[in-house]
Structure 1
Amino acid sequence: MRETGGRGQGPGRGGGGAGSHGGPGAVRRTPGGPGRPGRQGGTGSGRSEGPRDEPPRRNRDEDAGRSRRDDGDGRARREGRPGPGDRPGSEGRPPSDRRAGSDRRQDADGPSAQESRPRRPGGDATRSAGQGRADDPFDLPRGLTGAPSQEGRRGRSDATVPAPRGGQRHDARPPRSQSQGQSKGPSQSQAPPPRRPVRRPPPPPRPPRPPLVLRLGNPRRRINIGLIGMTFILSIFAGRLIQLQGLDSKIYEAKAADQRVISEVIPAKRGSITDAGGHALAVTVEAREIAVDPSKIPADQRAKMAATLAKELGKPEADIAAKLARLTSRYELVARDVDPVVADRVLDHELPTVTTKKTYRRTYPAGDLAGTLIGFVGNDGTGLEGVEQMRNSRLAGQDGKQSVEQGRDGQRIPMTRSQRQAPIAGRDVRLTIDRDIQWAAQKAIAQQVSASGALSGTVIVMDVKTAQIIAMANAPELDLNNWQKAPDTSYVNRAVSEVFEPGSTNKVITAAAAIEAGAVRPDTTFRVADHIRCADQILKDSHPHKTETMTFKKVVETSSNVGTIQAARRVGDERLFAMLKNFGFGTRPGLGLPGEEAGLLPDYKSWSGTQRCTVAYGQGVSVTALQTASVYQAIANGGVRVEPRIVAGETDAHGRFVPAKPGKQTRVVSGQTAREIASMLEGAVSAEGTGTLAAIPGYRVAGKTGTANRYDQQLGRYNGYTASFVGFAPADKPELVVLAVVQKPSEDIYGGHVAAPVFKDVMTFAIKSRKIPPTAPTAAPSAPPARIGTGH
């Protein structure tokens, strides 16, 4: 009976060769030594008669190759030479050991080693055709390589019984029939009888390998880290919210309000300035400001707009065109202080971006009347000079405020908050100025300055009892309606700010000091020459004359410098200095006007040798026109000096007039001394005096002329003269004081000739305006011959 290990494709193999592969249940052949029987092979190519498992198709080529190797091995043994399967050293190993090793290698290595090693090109095709070579290194017997068979890897459903120690082994496969073929060689007769195969139970299947799982770490740690991160982020948000809504809430609220809340100032109406009779000298009227937005004006309409605005507003077209050409500007003020009627005409043209704003405009109905005294208001509504500056806080009032919420287009947001604080109008200020007398004073001094070719002139009219300023005129005067076009020198109120040496008008103070001290009396006589030595210089009298005896009254009447120096030496420097201070020299008069000066009165201890003499007749000291007028006000008031006043009063919050407080009164000399000096001054205006041109028919007039060298501060030296005259009337019952000062006259330099006529014109008008009755004969005194001298 013939065995076969599978599908035979060649002649049967001898007993010493390696059998071909069988099915899945075939016994693995172990190579043995010489004379060991091999598997009986068949000559046919049919299948085995016994039951067997059909190997997979992919192993059939391997079976064919092994059959070829077995065939070659059998032939080698028959011919007495070792076959490819006879491996040295294999005889000593039991088949069971070799099988066990093979099985162990199969279990350890898994798939067959034959499958894992590389195949020779074309090897599969050759073996599949039954033409394999026995000496091919890729076709080594399985016993030499130790690789597990493909069938063993697939399972051992047909287990085999290990061969006995004699080297014989029987397949568990059922034997083939004799008709299928018989292996060639002598080992055929020695083959043992076939044994019944013993089936082993299949081994338990290997457990499935668990799938690959990615370990993500500890979840609790991840949760904690996430919570920490979330807490940190939330703490940042919470801190920012606390900062925005708690700490910085006021700041952001203010910024938001600034963006949408627009505050607008409501200007207060400035108070009026009136004269003593209530006539308006400065008033505030309603006006308009006209502005444009150049960034929104179409290019093709700019020229037309400039021409229209220039025509309506009376401004140069080039100036308006330049403002319209500023494309980066959102607001350009075209004109201010525009009359409302003119502003309405501008709006009627419907020019793009043209807007108007309600404002107030300061006007001066009297033009240049008391211009330097009243002053003016700047573009921002603040007083800059004169009473406008002195009483600015009262006149200006308090501006109101209005705040509204508006959107980006400038329109007010409906139903939003709106705050409005009403403005408080300014107080009206009433001056002591008499409009009519002010006009007469300005006219008289302007005419004389022009006639004498003088640089400037000043006139002050003062009430004797109250020291209120009735008129304060300067020439040239400032036109308040066109103050922008006037030079800066015209802004100065010379009556309170211009300092000059008084000259002979100061001799009344020396006379008052001498009489008050008891050093002289009006009838005290002096031996007077036309010159006198003072320190290292010779000082001349007011006019050349022979040495003669003069009473002190005559010394004052004729304005003798030498006689005045002799009287001052009897008084002494200290007493003379004290009298000058009592009359207000060296201190401000107290009006409070801007630029008010105190003059210059050096201390008697610093007087030089010549200054001890010149101070007595009004040189070496400096005063203002207001200070000089205040001296004669004290003499006319019986020796009581009153601080001058320019403001009569002002209205209160309810519009009621509240009078100003009277000026401080100070007794300078006794009433007797004042009357004696007044009598001397009345003689100076008489035919015997130097001020004959100041006499007024029907009225007793007392006064004094003055002529002094004029100190020019710009040049730093004396340049020209200052001519002045000051007096009061009626002399027996004084009512008014008038001072006239002419600076640097060119035609005539003496006060009796230049300033006295101005005094006469102004005093005459003031007396008539005040309706002061005459107290003296109406006959006018005859004019004496002109006297020559610097003391006049």
Structure 2
Amino acid sequence: MFIALLFIFTVFAAQLVRLQAIDAETIAQQAQRLRSRPTPIPAKRGTIQDRYGAPLAESSERFDIVVDQVAVAEYTKKDPNTKKSTKVGAAGAAADLAPILGIDEKQLATSMTGRKPWVPIARSVVPTTWLKVQGLKIPGITNELVPIRYYPGGEPAAATVGWVGSDGTAKGNTGGGLEYLYNQALTGRPGKIVREYSLDNRVIPMGNSKITPAVPGEVIRTTIDNDLNWFAHDAIAKQVQDLGAEAGVIVIMDKQGRLLAVTQAPSFDPADRGRNNSDFSNMAFQGAFEPGSVTKIITAGAALDLGLTTPTTQWEIPNRYTVDGQEFRDSHDHPTEHLTTAGVLAKSSNIGTVKLAQLYPREKLAEYMQRFGLGERTAVGFPGESAGYLGDPSTWDGRSRYTISFGQAFTATPVQVTGIMQTIANKGIHIPPSLIAGRTDVEGQYHPQPLPQQTQAVSKETASQLGSMLQSVVSNEGTALQAAVPGFNIAGKTGTSNRYTGKGGYVSSFVGYAPADDPQFVMGVFLVNPKKDIYGGSTSGPVFSSVMSHALQKYGIAPSGAKIAEFPLTFNPSQATPTPQSAPAGDNKPQAVPPDTPETKTGLQPPAVSPTDNTSTARRR
């Protein structure tokens, strides 16, 4: 019996030694782990900036103030006269906090009274207010960081900059625009604070704590000029209102494709998207439409580049013109006209453009359109961006083979259409549009974004000829005199096309660059279904003039010198020279289609925001 008791005692003694000496540290660590609990520290979302560093979207720190009701009950205050400390508890804390937080004292005292370890008493408090609260040294009062996203770029930049969801990120379907595209880089890496908690779920004041700081997100610097973007937005919004249009878009880029302004009206408040029922799409990147007569630049440019015509080649333009069994006409009836190639472009003749398109195979036209950036998405990679629809030239029927030449039976976005003019302004070199100037990483190192790969769309000589021809558009003889900017030579092209929607209507546009003799800015102005006027020259032209004038003045661009010599637009038929009137040998001519057969749009599925056109009578102006 004694031996048995001795054995039991020995076992207990050994276990006690193990617990107190050998495993004491391990057990203590296990206990601490059980008492410890991490609290996440949100990472500050990175800023989206304009080209000069001005914020377009930024996060600001706010705090939710939280109270431990048991701890705050121990709040004491020292009488300044007697130096005696008196416990004032929740009521005293409420009296001190109420004037700082702007909350009713009785309401605050009620919220702070009880046994709960975590009760929010104030939301979204600014840092200066929190510092005042912290200075009171009230026990049980803590804060939780709540980042708030602000958008100084406002409605003008909303569709481009985008927005975040209620969780402060743009993942999944909760965000849009650049916020969505660069969400991973902007999000950063959250930190954490590990504290020890008691059995009743309260922070142990003298317990161990460990903080892992959060890493903020990267800074994304765009190519956008915020001031110019605001001016452009105000201008297009006013014109939309004045003309009763459904919407308007302005795209401005430099001659190397850097986007300086991308704005639309109507727009929305990215910080309060529920305030109205606006469309949150970006029409400049997502709104494909039939561009109309702006496309004539490519048709004429291809003929010039292939050596099949010159700016002074003479063309007889009848009131109606039939080719491959298809009849074409201009926007209005007219007697037979006698236009040069320059005149065909300046006066926006559909028939003249069809004759130019007859000079080379359809495959060549498709090739040149692709060189100018049509039929594929830009290098921006904007969320939901449309590539437009061009289609394989083998699918172009007897009518669309020619209507495509003057801007119908295919679609493009405003950014793509503006890129056509960028190519001419840049001596025939097409550089896909870019929207990001660079990124600043978490170490503060700035990484500039290289320009996308460039393409020689047409020769330098062809671009120069087209530039001279396009100056005639902004003249008394052209279709866009109202796009003129005093003191500067302007090159540009109008476009007006019917909409392929149930509502009908038009898309009116003007795309141009200035100064024509030393291009600095390229701009496209697009109006969707203006009610009071439909012609691009008289609807979009004045907006171009106003905004381009502002841009030239803002950047201190010197006025133009002498006007570039313009080519003659018309000729005397009695002195006419022979002109090629048909396609060269080897063209795979399509089968004729009866005149009343509607144009085919194989595979064309325009988005709801995309005005398009399936008529064969694009307007001139």
Q: What SS does the aligned partner of 2:355 have?
A: helix
Residue in structure 2 matched with residue 587 of structure 1 by the alignment: 376
Q: Which amino acid aligns with 1:387?
A: L
- Alignment correspondent of 2:41: 266
Equivalence for 2:356: 567
**Cα deviation 1:606-662 (Å, max 9, x = unaligned):** 112221121010000100010011111111101111121111112233324332212
Change (3 A) 1:353 1:736: same
- Structure 2 counterpart of 1:747: 532
**Is 1:282 the equivalent of 2:66?**
no
| 8 Å CA contact retained: 2:158, 2:268 | yes
Change (3 A) 1:369 1:611: closer
CA RMSD of aligned residues (A): 3.9
Shift of 1:532: 2.3
Corresponding position of 1:423: 214
2:145 to 358, 363, 372: 358
- Does the 8 Å CA contact 2:508/2:535 hold for their aligned counterparts? yes
Question: Could you tell me which residue of structure 2 aligns to residue 373 of structure 1?
Answer: 160
Is 1:472 equivalent to 2:257 in the alignment?
A: no
* Structure 1 residue 291, shift from structure 2 partner: 6.4
Contact 1:709 1:718 in 2 (8 A): no
How far off its partner does 1:693 sit? 0.6
Q: How does 1:229-628 map to 2 (within 5 A)?
A: 260-289=35-64, 337-340=124-127, 356-383=143-170, 384-413=175-204, 418-464=209-255, 466-487=256-277, 489=279, 491-533=280-322, 537-628=326-417
Deviation at 1:730, TM superposition (A): 0.9
* 1:735 aligned residue (520, 534, 554): 520
Per the alignment, residue 710 of structure 1 pairs with 499
CA distance in 1, matches of 2:522, 2:189: 39
Amino acid at match of 2:152: P
Q: Is the 8 A contact 2:479 2:620 kept in 1?
A: no
| Paired amino acid for 1:694 | A
Answer yes or no: is the 8 Å Cα contact 2:292–2:618 preserved in 1: no
Deviation for aligned residue 1:474: 0.9
Structure 2: where are the runs of 5+ without partners? 1-27, 72-89, 567-616
Change (3 A) 1:477 1:503: same
Give the counterpart of 2:542 among 752, 757, 776: 757
Contact persistence 2:422–2:522 (CA under 8 A): yes
- 2:260 is aligned with what amino acid? I
Letter matched to residue 726 of structure 1: V
Q: Deviations over 1:189-228 (max 9, x none)?
A: xxxxxxxxxxxxxxxxxxxxxxxxxxxxxxxxxxxxxxxx
- Residue identity in the other structure for 1:722: V
Matched residue, 1:109: none
Report deviation, 1:537: 4.8
Report the Cα distance in structure 2 between the residues aligned to 1:519 and 1:718, rounded to whole angstroms.
Answer: 41
1:334 Cα deviation from its structure 2 partner: 8.3
The structure number with the bigger radius of gyration is 1
Confirm or deny: 8 A CA contact 2:101 2:122 kept in the other structure: no
Q: Gaps (5+ residues) in structure 1?
A: 1-252, 315-319, 782-787
Q: 1:531 & 1:335 partners in 2: Cα distance?
A: 75
Q: Which amino acid aligns with 1:389?
A: Y
CA contact (8 A) 2:268 2:278 kept: no
Q: CA deviation at 1:556?
A: 0.5
The alpha-carbon deviation at position 261 of structure 1 amounts to: 3.3
CA distance, structure 2, for counterparts of residue 485 and residue 683 of structure 1: 46
Question: Of the two structures, which has the highest relative contact order with CA contacts closer than 8 Å and spacing of 6 or more?
Answer: 2
**What pairs up with 1:654-665 in 2 under 5 angstroms?**
654-665=443-454
Question: Does the residue aligned with 2:477 lie in a helix, a strand or coil?
Answer: coil
Whole-Å Cα distance in 2 between the matches of residues 362 and 438 of structure 1?
A: 20
Task: Indicate if the aligned counterparts of 2:408 and 2:618 stay in contact, CA closer than 8 A.
Answer: no
Compared with structure 1, are the counterparts of its residues 536 and 350 closer, same or farther at alpha carbon in structure 2 (3 Å cutoff)?
A: farther
Deviations 1:517-574 (A, max 9, x none): 2222111122211222355553321232111222111000000000101110112211
TM-score scaled to structure 1, two decimals? 0.59
Which residue of 1 is the match for residue 580 of structure 2?
none
AA partner of residue 657 (structure 1): Y
Q: Deviations over 1:481-506 (max 9, x none)?
A: 433424351x2221111111100011
CA contact (8 A) 1:583 1:641 kept: yes
CA contact (8 A) 1:600 1:621 kept: yes
- Per-residue deviation, 1:441: 0.6
Contact 2:293/2:406, CA 8 A, preserved across alignment: yes
Among 538, 548, 551, which residue is 1:766 paired with? 551
- TM-superposed CA distance for 1:585, in Å, is 1.1
Whether contact under 8 Å (1:707, 1:722) holds in the other structure is yes
Q: Using the alignment, how far apart are the partners of 1:340 and 1:650 within structure 2?
A: 28
**For residue 790 of structure 1, what is the aligned residue in structure 2?**
619
Q: CA deviation at 1:679?
A: 1.0
CA distance in 2, matches of 1:291, 1:349: 14
Quick check: 2:431–2:454 contact (8 Å CA) kept in 1? yes
For normalisation by structure 2, the TM-score amounts to 0.75
Which SS does the other structure have where 1:565 is aligned? helix
Q: Output the CA distance in 1 between the equivalents of 2:443 and 2:466.
A: 48
**CA deviation after TM superposition for structure 1 residue 665, in Å:** 1.2
Indicate how the Cα distance of structure 1 residues 292 and 597 shifts in structure 2: closer, same or farther if over 3 A, else same: farther
Letter in 1 for 2:191: G
2: CA distance between counterparts of 1:637 and 1:590? Answer: 18
| Residues 412, 679 of structure 1: alpha-carbon distance in 2 compared, 3 angstrom cutoff | same
Tell me, yes or no, if the aligned pair for 1:699 and 1:777 is still in contact at 8 Å.
Answer: no
CA deviation after TM superposition for structure 1 residue 360, in Å: 1.8
Distance in 1 (alpha carbons) for counterparts of 2:383 and 2:123: 27
1:91-170 matched pairs, under 5 angstroms = none
**Structure 1 residue 736: deviation in Å?**
0.7
SS at match of 1:719: coil
What is the CA–CA distance in structure 2 between the aligned matches of 1:748 and 1:255, rounded to whole Å? 79
Give the partner amino acid of 2:522.
V
- CA contact under 8 A between 1:313 and 1:342: conserved in structure 2? no
* Secondary structure at 2:512 match in 1: strand
TM-fit CA distance, 1:339: 2.9
Q: Which structure is higher in strand share?
A: 2
Q: Percent identity?
A: 37
SS in 2 for 1:504: helix
Does the CA contact (< 8 Å) of 2:373 and 2:432 recur in 1? no
Determine helix, strand or coil for the equivalent of 1:282: strand
Structure 1 residue 776, shift from structure 2 partner? 3.6
Q: How far apart, in 2, do the equivalents of 1:773 and 1:448 lie?
A: 28
Q: Return the offset for 1:463.
A: 0.6
Q: Work out whether residues 312 and 345 of structure 1, in 8 Å CA contact, stay in contact via their aligned partners in 2.
A: no
| Structure-1 separation of matches of 2:46 and 2:237 | 30
- The size of the alignment, in residue pairs, is 516
Q: Relative to 1, partners in 2 of residues 1:457 and 1:445: Cα closer, same or farther, differing over 3 Å?
A: same
Deviation track 1:436-456 (CA, whole Å, cap 9, x = no partner) reads: 211211111011001010011
For residues 401-455 of structure 1, what are the alpha-carbon distances to aligned partners after superposition, in whole Å with 9 as ceiling and x for unaligned? Answer: 2333322323335776644322112222222111221121111101100101001
